[in-house]
Amino acid sequence: MWVVVFQLFLIEDTASLYILVPILTLLLPFVFFPPTQALFATMREIIIQDDWIHVKVFFTFYTSSFKNSLIAGILFTGLAISLSYSIYLSWQLNLILMIVLAVILFYLFLFGLYFFFMESHFDMNLGWKLKQALVFVMGHPVSSIGNFLLFVFIHFVVWSVSPVISFLIGMALTSYFSIYLFMRKMNKLVERKTETAK
């Protein structure tokens, strides 16, 4: 997959995009979602244990959540392609429709990010995690958008320093801070619920 991504940066002929982008899109559910999910789960374990853990933990999470993350990857990739194509078709025809579709696409990215959190944090079925991710994003828009913007900002800063460093540790760094903020928010919600129950 990384070979295809690097090829996107190297191409000079835009006709090559018609070959590389579909290949990259087809590979996304298989080579992006399962390892990213395993990375989020590994970072959660590091935060909980407050210590470094063995690399085999990553592969344990990779194999245990492969099916769920693959199904979610196919779902999210299909929705993202549909929305992106709709935006492409509507940008010259109807500006308002294009803006609405762009906002929905943005929330789809938020939904995907919070699905990673739910998948790594809870041991429930896939439908429950998807529903809870959607409820969390809609119920806490400021927290969700803030976490997403931090995710993008850290990636941008690390990429600005060095693309090589970004390739090696960028995703691990952003997932660590993102899952940390998510867990803080979850703990606050649990505390608030406990206080109101008393």
In 3D space, the residue among 188, 160, 158 whose CA is nearest the CA of residue 175 turns out to be 158
| Rounded mean pLDDT for each run of 10 residues along the chain, 198 residues in total | 52 66 79 87 85 83 89 90 88 84 89 87 85 87 84 84 78 83 81 70
Helix, strand or coil for residue 130?
Answer: helix
C-alpha closest to that of 148 among 178, 188, 185, 104: 178
Sign of the CA dihedral running 192, 193, 196, 198: negative
- SS3 helix, strand, coil % of the chain, rounded to 5? 90, 0, 10
| pLDDT tens digits for range 21-77 | 777 778 888 888 888 888 888 888 888 887 777 888 888 988 988 888 899 999 999
**Up-side HSE of residue 33: CA atoms within 13 Å toward CB?**
25
